[in-house]
Amino acid sequence: MLAPMAGITDWPFRLQCKRQGADVLVTEMISAMGLLQSPKGNLAYKHLLSFHEEETGLIAQLFGKDPAMMGEAAAILDALPQYAGIDINFGCPAPKVTGSGGGSALMKDLPLSRRIVASVRRAVKKPLSVKMRLGWDPSSVNVIDFAKMCQDEGADLVTVHGRTRQQQYSGKADWAMITKVREALDIPLIANGDVFTPGDALDILSVTGAAGLAVGRGALGNPWIFREINQALSGETPARPDPDTVLKTALAHLDDMIAFKGEYRALIEMRKHFAWYLKGSPGAARTRALINTTEDLDALRTIVRSHFEVPAH
Ligand SMILES: Cc1cc2nc3c(=O)[nH]c(=O)nc-3n(C[C@H](O)[C@H](O)[C@H](O)COP(=O)(O)O)c2cc1C
């Protein structure tokens, strides 16, 4: 599964991951309040709800702290045919979200979180999943109680990122703790945190016994990780993509982004993706600097091509 990432998991990126074998895709997080209160036709929400017809197994992720609003927004998403299920975000560490009591801050308030899950469950006919961290900080790790609460309120699946809110993305994800959560539940669990290679994927599955795994940062500029994980799972030796494949994928991603957001936004938004596609290849820093200063799409394509193309002899 491709883990939800705000600012990243829009359909042009999800499509690359789908084509490389990600079974389940998750949208960027969608604010319940924003969905309900933004003017009809609001571009940001039009973008958040956009999808590509190849995207099967697409899950909409919702966040918010008001149970009634969460239910109302979930009903809207549930009725949209592009979504195979709804996910509730209890993991976001961003101060903008936790500052007002949302995202991972809700893990500190089990009764309110229970009302949110119950309200969304009543509103949603499709499968419902819940994504969470281990807890707020090391002294308040409550993921087992939290996940059980979700199960009691009718969630079909949970995804656990093996870090507390306080850790943000630092330290190592605690896979042993994910195992304890899995053991305490009857519903399936997706393990998440620090899968960067096919070997990590095999390890997280064998350590946790999870039903599946979610990859976030490991997929940045690297949608091939899903193909490689599937190869490793079926006992094959995972094959890294050659430079020509990386080039073609990066340029197809750019074209999709242009179709999605127009030329100017695509130029800006693709800078980070190109930096990730370049990562680890010779001359990456120089090419990245060129990409970040060009304002012209044809020049951008030329820069990327000359970085990846092997000179003819
Ligand atoms: C840039 C970025 C944005 C993220 N946005 C979301 C989000 O919108 N919803 C969510 O549940 N998690 C979000 N996450 C957390 C990831 O889904 C995932 O739980 C976390 O990155 C750990 O997995 P990884 O080690 O495979 O990256 C985000 C992570 C990153 C790096």
Q: What is the pLDDT of residue 313?
A: 56
Q: Where are the domains of the chain?
A: 11-233, 243-308
Q: What is the pLDDT of residue 17?
A: 98
Burial category of 253 from C-beta neighbours within 10 Å (exposed 0-12, middle 13-18, buried 19 and up): buried
Nearest CA to ligand 1 atom 23: 193
| Closest C-alpha among 63, 65, 64 to residue 28 | 63
Using an 8 Å Cβ cutoff, are 13 and 273 in contact? yes
Return d(Cα 17, Cα 300) in angstroms, integer: 23
Secondary element (H or E) of residue 61: strand 58-63
- Is residue 131 in contact with ligand 1, taking CB distance under 6 Å? yes
- As annotated, the active-site residues are 92
Q: What is the pLDDT of residue 106?
A: 95
CATH class assigned to 243-308: mainly alpha
- Is residue 93 in contact with ligand 1, taking CB distance under 6 Å? no
Q: How far, in Å, is the centroid of ligand 1 from the Cα of 59? A: 15
Nearest CA to ligand 1 atom 28: 5
Return d(Cα 210, Cα 90) in angstroms, integer: 19
The answer to whether the Cα torsion of 132, 135, 138, 141 is positive or negative is negative
Return d(Cα 113, Cα 120) in angstroms, integer: 11
Return d(Cα 81, Cα 159) in angstroms, integer: 23
Nearest CA to ligand 1 atom 19: 161
- Is residue 1 in contact with ligand 1, taking CB distance under 6 Å? no
- Is residue 195 in contact with ligand 1, taking CB distance under 6 Å? yes
pTM: 0.96
CATH class assigned to 11-233: alpha beta
Return d(Cα 290, Cα 149) in angstroms, integer: 51
Q: How far, in Å, is the centroid of ligand 1 from the Cα of 3? A: 6
- Is residue 191 in contact with ligand 1, taking CB distance under 6 Å? no
Query: pLDDT under 70 in the chain at which residues?
Result: 310-313
pLDDT digits (tens, 9 = 90+) for 194-245: 999 999 999 999 999 999 999 999 999 999 999 999 999 999 999 999 999 9
Beta carbons within 8 Å of 10's beta carbon, 6+ residues apart = 27, 28, 47, 50, 260
Nearest CA to ligand 1 atom 15: 5
Angle (deg, nearest 10), helices 297-308 and 243-278: 110
